[in-house]
Amino acid sequence: ETKATAKSKRIRYQQQASERSSPGEFRGRRGIAAEDLAELRDVGDQERISFTPSEHSSPLPDIGAVFETHGQYKPLRMEPRANAPGTSHQQTERVTQNVQAAKIRRVPVRQRRKHQRWSTEEEECFIKAVFKHGLRWSLIEDCHGTNGTIDQVLRGRNRVNLKDKARTIKLRLMRANNVYKHREQGVVFEVRYVPALAKKPNSKPREKQHAKDFVNPFLPYDERLHVKQIGNTHHLLLNKYCVVPHHLLITTAEFRQQGEPLSEADFTAVLETIDNLSSRNIVFYNSGEESGASQPHKHLQVLPMPEYLDMPPSISLWLQSIPPVGAVHTSKQLPFAHFGVLFGDSPLLPSNVAAAYQAALSELTTKFGSECSYNMIMTRSAIMLFPRRQSSWNDIAINSLGFAGLVLAKTKDEQELLNRFGILHILSCVGYPRTQ
C-alpha cells in the first residue's frame, strides 16, 4: 500500500481513541493503548512500524504481528472466510454445520430425584427395626420394605436410604442432647434432655427375648463395633446407641441371662478394661426386670466419669458416713436402700471385687428376696448395690445410670418433674426407702 493509505489508517485509530473516556480504555487487538497509537510515526519505506510505549500500556508483542510489511493491516482474530488463505470453502461449511448441529443437539440434564420426607410412622418403624436387627439394612428391608415379611411401612426405601436415615437420627440425637447440672445435698447430678429416646421401644428383657422377631445384638456382634476380645469369656464392644461418648459394653462370649449374679470372670474382664483406660470410669450392671435393663444377653457397661465429678453422687454421699474397708455398710445420707463395700487403697483383684459383690448381694437378697431386681455401680473406690421395685417413675426410666449420677429426660415435662421433686426422691420411688 502507499504511504497515504497507512496514514489514513493511523488517523482513524486516533479518532477512535479520542472518543474514549480515558486514554487507557481503548486498546488494540493485542493491548495497544490509544496513546501508543497516537505516537506511531509515518510508515515511509520502513518494513515495521515502531512506537514508544507509555506508562499506561501493557507489554506489547511484536508490532509486525499487527501491521505486516508495507503497513498492511492483518487482524489476529478473524472469522473464517471462504477465500481466506489456508481455509477452503469445504472447511468453512463443515465448521458452520458443526455449530448449527451443536445448537440443535441438547445434552439432556439429569433430573435430581425428588426428596421424599420420612413420615412419623416410617421413623417409628425404622427405629424399632434398628433396635431389633441392628445395622442389618438388608434384613430391615426384607422385613419392612416393598416386599416385607412383616409389613410394608418402609416401601420405597432402599438400603442407602436406611443408612442415611440412621446417620441423620444420630446427628439429631447428638445436637439435641442438652445437658445441665442438678444439685442436691451438696452433690451434682447430670440431667440430659434427649427427645429422640421417646421413640425407643420400652420393652423388658424377657418380653424382648420371647418376641418372634428378636435378634440378639451381641451374638453375633457387629464387627464394626468390636474393640477386642477379653480372654475366652468376654468381648469389649462399642455401644451402638450411646448417649454419652465412649460408652463401652462388656458382653459374655456365650449367651448368659441378664440378671444372673456376676462371677469372678466378669470382674476379671472389668478390671482388664478399666486398667487400660486413661480416664476415670464408672462400671454398672442392670439385673432383673425392674432394673431398667433392655437386653436379655448378659453385659456390663463402662462409662467415662464427667470431668467435674470425682465420683458418682451416690457414692459421694455414702462416703460421708466413713464406711469401714471391706465390710457391707449403709449410710443415713442416702434416702433409699443400698448396700456398699469400700475397697481401700490396696490394688484391686478380681477375687477381692467378686467377694465384696457377693457380700453386698447376700445382704440385699436376705432383706428383699432372691428375685429382687437391683442396680450395681462400681468405681476403683467402692461397689454399691441398689434394690429396685419399679423400672420408672411417671414415665421417667431409671437404670444404674440414675444412681451413678446421670438421668435422661425425654420431654420438657420430665425435666420439670426432675426439678420439682428432686432426683434423690425419684430414686427412692423406683427403689426402696432406706427404712424398709
181-206 pLDDT, tens digit per residue, is: 889 999 999 888 877 777 666 667 77
Q: Find the mean pLDDT for residues 144-161.
A: 88
The pLDDT of residue 308 is 77
Q: How many CA atoms lie within 13 A of 339 on its CB side?
A: 22
For 139-143, 269-273, 349-353, which range has the lowest pLDDT when averaged over its residues? 139-143
Helix (H, G, I), strand (E, B) or coil at 182: strand
Q: Are strands 339-342 and 382-388 parallel, antiparallel or unpaired?
A: antiparallel
Sign of the CA dihedral with 243 first, then 249, 254, and 260 last: negative
> How is residue 357 written as a grid cell?
459383690
Block residue for cell numbers 493511523: 10
Cβ 220 vs Cβ 435: under 8 Å? no
Q: Does residue 66 register a pLDDT over 50?
A: no
Q: Does residue 32 register a pLDDT over 90?
A: no
pLDDT tens track for 258-313: 999 999 999 999 999 999 988 889 999 999 999 988 889 999 999 998 877 888 99
C-alpha–C-alpha distance, residues 356 and 315, integer Å: 15
Block residue for cell numbers 473464517: 80
Task: Pick the most confident of 157-166, 346-355, 411-420.
Answer: 346-355
Q: Does residue 355 register a pLDDT over 90?
A: yes
- pLDDT above 90: percentage of residues in the chain: 38
pLDDT tens track for 363-415: 999 999 999 999 999 999 999 999 999 999 988 999 999 999 999 888 888 98
Block residue for cell numbers 470410669: 281
Cβ 205 vs Cβ 259: under 8 Å? yes
Distant-in-sequence, close-in-space partners of 31: CB < 8 Å, separation ≥ 6: 57, 58, 59, 60
Q: Which helix (H) or strand (E) holds 403?
A: helix 400-404
C-alpha–C-alpha distance, residues 62 and 178, integer Å: 72
Helix (H, G, I), strand (E, B) or coil at 139: helix
- Please tell me whether the overall predicted TM-score, pTM, comes out greater than 0.85 for this model: no
Q: Are strands 373-378 and 281-287 parallel, antiparallel or unpaired?
A: antiparallel
The pLDDT of residue 341 is 97
Q: Which of 404, 412, 435, 410 lies closest to 423, judged by CA?
A: 404
The pLDDT of residue 170 is 72
The pLDDT of residue 166 is 85
pLDDT tens track for 218-261: 988 889 899 999 999 999 999 887 878 889 999 999 999 999 99
C-alpha–C-alpha distance, residues 355 and 346, integer Å: 15
227 beta partners: none
Number of CB atoms found within 10 A of residue 125's CB: 20
Q: Does residue 8 register a pLDDT over 60?
A: yes
C-alpha–C-alpha distance, residues 202 and 180, integer Å: 25
For residue 426, what are the CA distances in angstroms to 66, 130, 157, 263, 398? 93, 30, 42, 30, 9
Distance of alpha carbon 276 from its chain centroid, rounded? 26
C-alpha–C-alpha distance, residues 220 and 191, integer Å: 33
Beta strands in 202-307 (DSSP E): 226-230, 234-238, 248-252, 281-287, 299-304
Q: Does residue 53 register a pLDDT over 70?
A: no
Q: Which helix (H) or strand (E) holds 385?
A: strand 382-388
